Chain A
């Protein structure tokens, strides 16, 4: 998968322009984003996949066999609320170690920013686009569910109540009801991930961590015996994923 972010331009959206800002910072830099993954603090890579070695908050023992997710619109918000948006997206494929590190070709002014953020998934507007690379990666969502693209695919197996291995597909998409020609959308399920204040230095690197365990934890304790497969048409499950995703990401370091 191409690093889409490196191909796209920065756009400025000035919402408020007052007070001190970065106008005096003449030096600009490109920025690297590294994505790492843990299970409640223990590092997880694809070498940990295909093995039932994790236990979720509900006590379900599970494995991960496939994990891909999409982020978009990485945004630096200045102290004067200027928003520098990297208009692009990145499909992070943990299974195949693809796009775990991306570097923007666009340059960001060095200095302090009150927030670094990104969108988990696509905004509804972005979700209506047609993306050749995402189609080629079979990342699309059926039109009967509103179309667009997955936000995340996490597949694996868990030990069910009958003590048997069973598959699960934790697929996050835009929640939809009434599948068919005219699906309806109960609420947005993409979300903004705010990582807090950052300082952009020369060739800055930001290490963003996903705690995979959080997807099963808070506020909805996830019982895989109840919610395991066919979750895409289940808008209640999608909303639960949205709620649990709020605290999944954190900024571990930036330099």
Chain B
């Protein structure tokens, strides 16, 4: 080891040195390129070993004990959490710039917005009152904007309650849930799907109808076109749109704000219609509401009565609740919409099965309520077997009329065979991840013929033929897996047992995260062996492309959907980590011997989305 290198390294690492010794070494560093390169390499290696080891101090001890490398991540997750937590305290420059642009564009509407502050309980100062008066004089148009209002009210999930100290001012992940959506088409940045939690913010519903359930105990039915802002778990601003509110005992006090008034629930069900170019109306279905406005006295409206807020104050109008959405109506619409979607999917699925490149297509449409087999409905069903259902239970699929297999137990799986090796392949599946119960979950994996032989008749020719095919290739396994790790969907082809024997592509897949559990997703992967290209898809969109190093045809043969054959010994030896069971539901699988292009995969998603 070069003496100057050692002196520099020691000085760097300890922060202590003898000037007489360091000075010539430092002088040489300024002029000697090879010394700089050596020191950089040493420092880089020291920092890399420190970084990877600080990520898993306990794992390394375990590694020593086991004599094998383990995967890393725990401390990294802590680091990630620290960074993400600190981000919540930052207003990014681009957001504030965007905000300023927005502010400039909406300056004429700000006064109207401030008018809301005049409402009792919001802001009480003279300055605001004067501005509010001006706002009314200018007769400003309905509020159309207010993206990301970052005022104080928007940082809390519930309005302050007099005399009550909130446990924390920090925000929770959602203040409401989008429980139903019928043909919903959103504008703006927030475009939730049914089942998704809704955070504070703006929601522009361009088409369809939705049902929102607030954590405060309120159900809101909203009909397009509508523009609302969730301001708290117990407060919504309606810029325009028709909505019905059903308030439970827990939700008493829920407030609906409009430009002209505030409607405070007093234990009720009521509907509100805020027109874009007219006066808002309130129809009280049950109980009563309190209506406040900036220029008129507070008014209590009883059930089966309706008012319109005009320039001269509230005026009685005909009570007509049938104009508004009811839960039964939204449910009926949803069922009709789902049936249309289901029929559209059936048409598409039939056409897809007729594609000669499709080796296997399980539509899960078996008529037997306890069917033991999934029928391969591909044009030439001889190219892949039917699937044998092991353990899974039949359940409802993407739509009420559609059937699916529910994976719950550790041994649940579907077994099948796609004989042969393929230069090109497309795998598409509609699946619902209900949870990731262990480190790695198998979506689709090949199985060694030897393992299958354990359970097959002794004279099963498919085993011996598969073994022959296997002897002509280096491909040991093909795996499509989900995991709890950073890049949580992985397609890999194994050519041996070492890590380096695997070609793999792992990318980020949001539907494996807990906030998306229980949501149907269309997952896909294409592989062109000769081009060595692999692409992952999610809901019709590519989410990552990569290159494999080897160009060996994919040997499929015996496969398992939603599990991987693990012996009791393997489970015991690995403390259960070899377990790969899928926990969720699957209701369609397609395997083809060509690479579907992006438009075909988008079409598979478009025609199958729930």
A and B interact physically: no
Chain A interface residues toward B at CB < 8 A: none
Chain B interface residues toward A at CB < 8 A: none
